[in-house]
Amino acid sequence: MRTTESNSASDSLRPAFLTDFDDTAAEQNVAELLLLEFGDHLNWKDARSRFRTGQLTLKDYQEIAFRHIQADRETMQNYVKKQANLRPHFGDLVSYCQDRDIPVAVVSAGLDFYIEALLEKEGFPDLPVYAVNTSFSETGISYHYHHTNPGKEHLGNSKGLIVERYRSKGHHVFYAGDGRSDFEAAERADVVFAHRVLAEECQRHSIPYRTFTHFGDILSALREHTSNDMHP
C-alpha cells in the first residue's frame, strides 16, 4: 500500500471530502443493478464490453445502456431504495463533517435520479451531488452534462474539474473512488482513497493513495487531519 505524504502547506487548508458513488459510497454498482432488472441485456452488455475495451466513452456507454430501459423514474428509484445501500460508516463520516462545517459531496459519472434516491433513503437528501442530470419524457431519458472540460464535452462530466473547483476555493481535498473515471480526480486530489481499478491505476502511475474497505477508514484519516490542524 502507498500512502499520501504529509504536506504542511496543504495540511493547513480547510478539508473537503468528495466521493464517487457506484461501488464507492454505494456498496453496489447501482447503475448495473437497474440495468440488470430493467435493461435490454443484450444491448447494454454489448455496450459495456465495448466500453471496457476502449471503443466507447463512459458517456456513450451509459446513454446506450439506458436507451432501452423498461421502467420510469419512480419505478427505478423505488427499486434502488429496496436493493441498494451505502457503504458502512458513510453516515458517520457525513455527520462528522457537517458538525465541523467540512464540505461533503458526491462526484459521479452516473445518473442523478438513482444517486438521489439512495441518499434520500439513507437520510441525506440535501447532500450535494455532481452527476449527470437527467429528465424523463415519453420518448425516453435526456442527459445534461454541466461539469465538462472545455473542448472535451464529448467525454461527459469531469470529476477532476470538480476537485479543482474545491481546491481553488482553498480546500485540502480528500477523494474516494474505485474506477478509471476517478483517475483524473485522483491526480488532482490532496489525499486519495482507492480500491479496485483506481488503486491499480494509482499504483501504475505512482500516485500516492490509501486503501479503504468502509468509510470508517476515511473518517479516521479526516479526524487525524483536523486534529493536526488544531494542534500545529
In a domain, 193, yes or no: yes
Q: What pLDDT is stored for residue 155 in this prediction?
A: 92
* Residue pair 113/133 in contact by the 8 Å Cβ criterion: no
Integer angstrom CA distances of residue 113 from 69, 77, 78, 131, 160 = 14, 7, 11, 9, 22
Q: What pLDDT is stored for residue 187 in this prediction?
A: 98
* CA–CA distance, 33 with 118 (Å, rounded to integer): 13
pLDDT category at 8 given cuts 50, 70, 90 is very low
In a domain, 195, yes or no: yes
Range name among 4-18, 23-37, 43-57, 164-178 with the lowest pLDDT average: 4-18
Q: What pLDDT is stored for residue 205 in this prediction?
A: 98
Q: What pLDDT is stored for residue 13 in this prediction?
A: 83
In a domain, 44, yes or no: no
Whole-prediction pTM: 0.92
In a domain, 143, yes or no: yes
**Is the pLDDT reported for residue 215 higher than 60?**
yes
**Is the pLDDT reported for residue 45 higher than 60?**
yes
In a domain, 217, yes or no: yes
Domain span at 24: 8-29+87-230
In a domain, 73, yes or no: no
HEC assignment per residue over 176-226: EECCHHHHHHHHHCCEEEECHHHHHHHHHCCCCCECCCCHHHHHHHHHHHH
In a domain, 104, yes or no: yes
Q: Which backbone phi and psi does 195 adopt, to 5 degrees?
A: -145, 175
- Residue 124, C-alpha cell as written in the block: 441525506
Q: Please state the rounded mean pLDDT for residues 113-128.
A: 98
Q: What pLDDT is stored for residue 229 in this prediction?
A: 64
In a domain, 175, yes or no: yes
Q: Please state the rounded mean pLDDT for residues 47-62.
A: 94
- Residue 59, C-alpha cell as written in the block: 458517456
The chain-wide mean pLDDT, for the chain, equals 92
Q: What pLDDT is stored for residue 12 in this prediction?
A: 61
CATH number (domain holding residue 159): 3.40.50.1000
- The DSSP result for 21-75, as a single string, is IIIIIBSS-HHHHHHHHHS-HHHHHHHHHHHHTTSS-HHHHHHHHTTT--S-HHH
**Is the pLDDT reported for residue 41 higher than 80?**
yes
Give me the number of domains the chain comprises.
Answer: 1
Q: What pLDDT is stored for residue 194 in this prediction?
A: 98
Query: What are the pLDDT digits (tens) for 76-105?
Result: 999 999 999 999 999 999 999 999 999 999
* CA–CA distance, 145 with 151 (Å, rounded to integer): 13
Q: Torsion angle, CA of 204/63/74/126, rounded to 10 degrees?
A: 50
Sign of CA dihedral 109, 114, 119, 122: negative
